[in-house]
Amino acid sequence: MYYSQLVEELDECHRNRRASEQLSKSRYGEAAEAKTAAKKIRRDLVTMTRREKARSEMRSAGAWSGGAAVVVALFYEVCKAADRWPFGRQYEPVWTHEAMVSALTFLMTALFAWAYKSMHPESK
């Protein structure tokens, strides 16, 4: 009786070992798949240094600032060509003064910067 009980326990141990080996093999396959997927993602991932990121942001800011200056220049060209100025012709000296041109360029640049930030929330 004692011997048969030990044989049953041994059989149970063998079954448990086989089950754990099967589970281990299936987990190994999942782990290998995950490892190859991570390797592929890491290979395809493009990393940028802080200097490259700053350079990219600088180019972008320059482009948006240039766009704002172009809009202001076009506004003035349209006003000159049409010979019409906001609030009437008597305000032409105000609109053509350097300070007004600078202020409009600054305001347009700020507006473009706000538009850029709202379209690119990941940038600072």
pTM over cut 0.85: no
Same domain, 2 and 37: yes
* Angstrom distance (rounded) from CA 54 to CA 61: 10
* Angstrom distance (rounded) from CA 69 to CA 85: 19
75 domain residue, yes or no: yes
7 domain residue, yes or no: yes
DSSP 48: -
Smallest CA-to-CA distance from 93 within 104, 85, 103, 81 is with 85
Range of the domain at 105: 50-119
Instruction: Render pLDDT for 3-60 as a digit per residue (tens, 0 to 9).
Output: 888 888 888 888 888 888 887 777 777 777 888 888 887 777 777 777 777 777 778 7
Smallest CA-to-CA distance from 84 within 94, 92, 74, 96 is with 92
Give the ranges where the chain is alpha helix by DSSP (H).
2-44, 50-82, 92-96, 98-119
Same domain, 58 and 73: yes
How many domains does the chain fold into? 2
Same domain, 103 and 67: yes
